[in-house]
Amino acid sequence: MRSALLSTSWRLSAVLMAAALSACSGGGSGAVGGLSPSPTPATAPPPTYDTAEYRANYGLGAINAIAAYEDGLSGEGVTVAVIDTGIDLDHPDLNTNISAQSIGISAGTYAAANDADAEGHGTAVAGVIAAERNGSGMHGVAFDATLLAINASDPATCPGECEFAQSALADAIDYAKNRGAKIINLSLGGAAAGQSLQNAMQSAVEAGVIIVISAGNDGAAIPSELAQIAGAGWADGRILIAGAVDANNLIADFSDRAGDAFKSLYVVAPGVSVRTTGVGGGQVIATGTSFSTPHVVGALALLAELFPNLSAHDLAEIILTTAHDLGEPGIDAIYGRGIIDLDAAIQPLGVTGIPTAGGIVPAAADTPALAATALSLSPAFGDALAGHAAFANAMALDGYRRSYRFDLNRLTARSDGSRDLLSLIDSRRYGMARRETVAPGVTLSYAAARDGELDRLIDAAAAEKPRLSARLGLERAYADGSRLALFVNDPAAAVGGDSTAGVFLQRQSLAFGLLEDDSVTAHAERPWGLVRLGLTSSFSRIEDGAGPLAGGSSRLAMASAAMALGSQTTVSLGLGLLEEDGLVLGSRSAGALRLGEGATTQLLDGRLTWAARPDVTVFAHGVIGRTSITGGGGSLLRPAGDLVVAAAELGALWRGALHAGDVFGLQLSLPPRIEAGSVVIGQIIGRDYAADRLQFAETAAPLSPSGREMDIEAAYALSLIGDATLQINASYVIDPGHRADAGDAVSFLISLSRAF
Q: Which residues are catalytic?
A: 84, 121, 290
User: Quick count: other Cβ atoms within 10 Å of Cβ 218?
Assistant: 15
Give the strands of the sheet with 374-376, arranged side by side: 412-413, 374-376, 588-590
152: Cβ contacts below 8 Å, ≥ 6 apart: 83, 84, 105, 164, 168, 169, 171, 172
374: Cβ contacts below 8 Å, ≥ 6 apart: 411, 412, 413, 547, 548, 549, 588, 589, 590, 591, 593
Q: Say how far apart CA 432 and CA 411 lie, in whole Å.
A: 39
DSSP string spanning 360-393?
EPPPGGGS-BGGG-EEE--GGGTTTTTT-HHHHT
Is 397 strand, coil or helix? strand
443: Cβ contacts below 8 Å, ≥ 6 apart: 435, 436, 437, 473, 474, 475, 477
Q: Which residues pair with 225 in a beta bridge?
A: none
DSSP string spanning 449-517?
PPPHHHHHHH-HHHHHS-----EEEEEEE-TTS-EEEEEES-GGGGGTTHHHHTT-SS---GGGGTS-S
Q: Which of 734, 532, 490, 508 is nearest to 621 (CA)?
A: 508
Single-letter amino acid, residue 719:
S
Which H or E run contains 540? Answer: strand 531-542
270: Cβ contacts below 8 Å, ≥ 6 apart: 57, 58, 59, 62, 63, 244, 245, 246, 247, 291, 292, 295
Q: Say how far apart CA 607 and CA 571 lie, in whole Å.
A: 6
- Work out whether the CA dihedral 65, 70, 72, 74 comes out positive or negative: positive
Q: Which of 225, 223, 284 is nearest to 254 (CA)?
A: 223
Burial track 702-731 (b if 16+ CB lie within 10 A, e otherwise): ebbbbbbbebebebbbbeeeeeebebebeb
Cβ atoms of 436 and 386 closer than 8 Å: no
Q: Say how far apart CA 578 and CA 380 lie, in whole Å.
A: 15
User: Quick count: other Cβ atoms within 10 Å of Cβ 565?
Assistant: 11
Q: Say how far apart CA 283 and CA 402 lie, in whole Å.
A: 37
Local structure of residue 321 (DSSP, 8 states): H
92: Cβ contacts below 8 Å, ≥ 6 apart: 18, 134, 136, 281
